[in-house]
Amino acid sequence: MENKENLELKRHSGAHILAAAVQALFPGTKLGIGPAIENGFYYDFLSEHKFTPEDLKAIEAKMKEIIKAKEPFVCKTFSKNDAKKLFMERGEVFKFELIEDLPGDEVSVYYSGDFVDLCRGPHIEHTGVFGNFKLTHVAGAYWRGDEKRPQLQRIYAIAFNTKDELNAYIKQQEEAAKRDHRKLGAELDLFSINEDIGPGLILWHPKGGMLRKNLEDWIRNENVRRGYDIVFSPHIARLHLWQKSGHANFYGENMFSPIKVDEQEYQLKPMNCPFHIAIYNSQLRSYRDLPIRLAELGTVYRYERSGVLHGLLRVRGFTQDDAHIFCTSEQVEKEVEACFNFAMHVMKTFGFANFKVELSTWDEKNPQNYTGKAEDWAHAQSALENVLKANNIPYTSHTGEAAFYGPKIDIKLIDAIGRPWQLSTIQFDFNLPERFDLTYVAAEGRKRPLMVHRALLGSIERFIGILIEHYAGLFPLWLAPVQAKILTLTDEQLPFAKEVKAALNQNLLRVVIDDRPEKLGAKIRQAHLEKAPYTIIVGAKEAETKTVTLRLRSGKNIEGIKLDELASKLKEEVDTLSLVNLFS
């Protein structure tokens, strides 16, 4: 029971135990579905009773009784008609509907004690095998994800093989709650979401705007250093473009409805790639021009259901750190390696020491599911693998997980509390060059370039959300919106405080003065809550000696620092993108 498959088996069985406990405590409750999910399971219920945190405690206790009873899981096979009769007699209208949609003439039903559920199985031997779980919360969920269908109550649970794993996960979640970017974003006045503007659309406040500017300036400059051309494209284009690219068909459910302009239908862009292709196709290209690397921080718009929107992490309007590389077959491995090295530089710069790499390849036994020639797929996959092997990068390979248009490398960073986040992607595309008839002139005539999509930060919004939680709002100096707060004891020190601010501003450091008529302790507490990297204290002694007392985030005070030393060292910390305070 230690491997991943059997853990999933336990979790799915746990969902049945949860449902059995709910129906025992709340008779008349109707069953939805109850799958295993990452880290646990859930079950959907239709009940007149609204489940509360106190109810979860009672349900947990009932589940433990069922576990202690070691009730066997017994599978029985029914004809679909008999199964429909069984569940209709029990008033399980949702199960009746599911049976109608199942293929074949027979279905399997699982029994455990008095509980009965439609399920394909398999399950653990008996309820006593299950344990090490905790019910976490209740959320709303529409039946089959349809907002026009009944809204059910979804009870979530976490479950692991051992109690130590369960406790470690609970501790991680408690830490994650403290770091929640939505909570910190409000406390630090970084961003907000306004219902009048619409869910999933972000308003960046001045401090958040400065944080975002610092990030965007860095990534744009890095693109230029690495031979990318910076481009800009519109937020909207004729629907015809998205039909030609295939997005209207393959991605239509994630796109907003078209709008009419001058009797033509236009579409908010969900992707940047067709625009970059149009730039490539704006003139005849020679093999001497390649590789062409086009980079853009392009804002895109995608329809996400309101139930899945989540702060900065899942939005409807976001800016992609996007780039497309057009190159020859001979150049592609070098380009992929450069992309991978760029991704590693991103990880290091922002303090992510741990990451996982996944390679998604095609299923060569079913070439009909993919676009492009077999030799192109082999060459592309070889280029990706060679780069990983040459850099001694451990990776997992997933056959058949490639998109229909090309293989890819995905890089998942591991944050400060051990959570994985999908970040960088290096993706081949055999589809769009064909659809848009991309060519270049080689010595032997017209040829088709290879096209690589490359995203390093992914969505700027999502990446900032990750950064907020990774750093718990304690940004390194170069990223911090406010890098230092100057605190005065009385108005008599205000002239010198302004002198300090001017000296630091001369070095492009972002500094504010707190000259409120408050006690110093209150000002220090406020600076601590605002998570400024440094607090500069200016009292009578400092004003007289033309020095400052520097307070670190740790609470340590360093006295007698001269202005030129302060400015020089803070500037060095910013210029070197240091992740640690040079004064500590």
Would you please indicate which residues are annotated as catalytic (active-site) residues?
273, 302, 320, 322, 324, 408, 453
DSSP symbols for 523-555? HHHHHHHTT-SEEEEE-HHHHHHTEEEEEETTS
Q: Phi/psi of residue 484, each to 5°?
A: -155, 145
Residue 319's region, left for phi above 0, alpha for psi from -120 to 50, else beta, is beta
State the Cα–Cα distance between residues 167 and 568, nearest whole angstrom. Answer: 46
User: What token pair was written down for 550?
Assistant: 């520097």
Q: Phi/psi of residue 164, each to 5°?
A: -65, -40
Beta strands 191-192 and 229-230 are unpaired
Where do the DSSP E strands lie in 200-328?
203-204, 229-230, 236-238, 259-261, 264-268, 292-301, 317-327
State the Cα–Cα distance between residues 568 and 554, nearest whole angstrom. Answer: 21
Closest CA to 205 of 188, 182, 184: 188
User: What's the chain's Rg over C-alpha atoms?
Assistant: 29
Sheet of 264-268, strands arranged across: 236-238, 264-268, 259-261
Q: How far is CA 455 from CA 108, 412, 508, in A?
A: 45, 12, 30
Closest CA to 270 of 253, 246, 254: 254
Contact 80, 107 (CB under 8 A): yes
Q: How far is CA 47 from CA 29, 94, 136, 202, 369, in A?
A: 5, 13, 19, 35, 43
Contact 315, 436 (CB under 8 A): no
Where do the DSSP E strands lie in 189-344?
191-192, 203-204, 229-230, 236-238, 259-261, 264-268, 292-301, 317-327
User: What token pair was written down for 119?
Assistant: 């399920």
DSSP symbols for 82-134? HHHHHHHHTT-HHHHHHHHHS-SSEEEEEEETTEEEE------SBGGG---EE
State the Cα–Cα distance between residues 406 and 490, nearest whole angstrom. Answer: 65
Q: How far is CA 125 from CA 72, 74, 112, in A?
A: 6, 8, 10
Beta carbons within 10 angstroms of residue 233's beta carbon: 20
Q: At what angle do helices 163-179 and 460-471 cross, to 10 degrees?
A: 110
